[in-house]
Structure 1
């Protein structure tokens, strides 16, 4: 690290649990963020400001006036631009050292198979049930931890699915792919802006802890836990979740179909 970096990240370096080594881990890390909307926008800004060295952002959409109520990486002047280019411009203003790669396409199995294995952590900031399952499967196959969140109306939820840990459930353990919920998109049901912002920031927080290797007794990740937020009362509910032995993705049936490279959990 150079002197400018030590000054930029000094408020992290002052933390008892933080070190130059932890910051160096961030600077050398690659985060893949899928979705640059209500969740992805704040997540991206905190990843860049914290010093994540490489960020890849995938989103097929363009900035619309209706996005600006909550998608804080975008501005009125950038309406009509792709969300990924708008987000990249915002991140460059925050931290020009961050290497931001943009993919203005919808995430599909082929795209995920290319990008997920290159990442150290994946943030699912999408709002489609089927895409969430594609992302989950790609992370299981590549052995890459997944930070997943969702928000609609006044409600939100967040968890971490970590295939590096044998006991950790995957997204499909909690939400079976053959049981899609009713349509719950912000465009049809609305969203309280601070709720989606809070969840996106928390996604960045979990990803940063993973990338800086702060996992351990003092920093317990959300793997195996589902946090649910009621934005009407600001009350949190925590559910303990277990790996489902019959899961079609991470269970024996799923792992037989998809050979899974295991990464070692880093403490």
Structure 2
């Protein structure tokens, strides 16, 4: 790091849990963020600002007026722009030293596998079960840790899955395929209070920084937040021996 980088990241470097070594690990890290909307906006901005060396932002959607209530990486001038490209520009405005690539097509199949296999960590910031299952399967296949977030109405949740840990469950252990809905859990149909996506997205970014820098203890289990009461709850999530994705065969 040069003097400018030392100054930029000085508040993190002075933390004993991160220090110079942790910051250098952040600068060398590669992260995929799938979704540049409500959750992906704070994730992309905080990871870029914190010094993640290479970010890949994936989103095929375009910015709409109704997004601006909560998707803070975008503004009025970005209406009808691709969300990944808009978020990239905003993030680079915070830290031009971060390398940010964008994927503007819907990730699926081989494209999903390739994108996941070339990073150190994946953050799922999507709002569809189908996308979450596909990301989870690709992470299990590639052995890449996954930070999953969700927010709807006044409720949010976060879980971290590590395929390298034989005791770690996967997303399909938590929500077995066929037992959850899709459309009924999206913000467009149910609404969401604006700061909630920022809160969960920041939680995702924090876990990512911990993972990448080596600081602290990785999150385990499922954390849920009730915005109406202001209460957090934490649940242990065991690995499902019959899981169709991660069960040992």
Distance 1:107 1:70 in 2: 23
Distance 1:82 1:70 in 2: 16
Residue 194 (structure 1) aligns with: 195
Distance 2:149 2:233 in 1: 14
Distance 1:208 1:120 in 2: 12
The 8 Å contact of residues 210 and 217 in structure 2, kept in 1 or not, is answered as no
Gaps of 5+ in 2: none
Q: Which among 202, 210, 232 is matched to residue 236 of structure 1?
A: 232
Q: Which among 218, 221, 232 is matched to residue 221 of structure 1?
A: 218
Distance 1:207 1:162 in 2: 12
SS for the counterpart of 2:185 is: coil
* In the alignment, structure 1 residue 117 sits paired with structure 2 residue 117: yes
Note the C-alpha offset of 1:229: 0.4
Distance 1:73 1:42 in 2: 7
* In the alignment, structure 1 residue 87 sits paired with structure 2 residue 87: yes
Note the C-alpha offset of 1:211: 0.8
Note the C-alpha offset of 1:111: 1.5
Distance 2:83 2:149 in 1: 19
Pairwise mapping of residues 29-48 of structure 1 onto structure 2 (< 5 A)? 29-48=29-48
Note the C-alpha offset of 1:110: 1.9
Across the two proteins, how many residue pairs are aligned to each other?
248
Distance 2:110 2:186 in 1: 25
Residue 14 (structure 1) aligns with: 14
Distance 2:69 2:109 in 1: 31
SS for the counterpart of 2:12 is: helix
Pairwise mapping of residues 21-100 of structure 1 onto structure 2 (< 5 A)? 21-100=21-100
Distance 1:211 1:24 in 2: 10
Residue 244 (structure 2) aligns with: 248
Of 12-21 and 40-49, the range deviating more from structure 2: 12-21
Gaps of 5+ in 1: 254-267
Distance 1:61 1:206 in 2: 26
Given the two structures, how large is their TM-score scaled by the length of structure 1?
Answer: 0.91
Given the two structures, how large is their TM-score scaled by the length of structure 2?
Answer: 0.98
Provide, for residues 95-146 of structure 1, a one-character-per-residue CA deviation record: whole Å limited to 9, x for no partner. Answer: 0001000011112122211110101000000011011011001000100000
Provide, for residues 25-82 of structure 1, a one-character-per-residue CA deviation record: whole Å limited to 9, x for no partner. Answer: 0001001000000000000000000000000011001111100000000011111111
Distance 2:211 2:199 in 1: 19
Distance 2:37 2:179 in 1: 25
Distance 2:137 2:99 in 1: 26
The 8 Å contact of residues 18 and 214 in structure 2, kept in 1 or not, is answered as no
RMSD across aligned positions (CA): 0.9
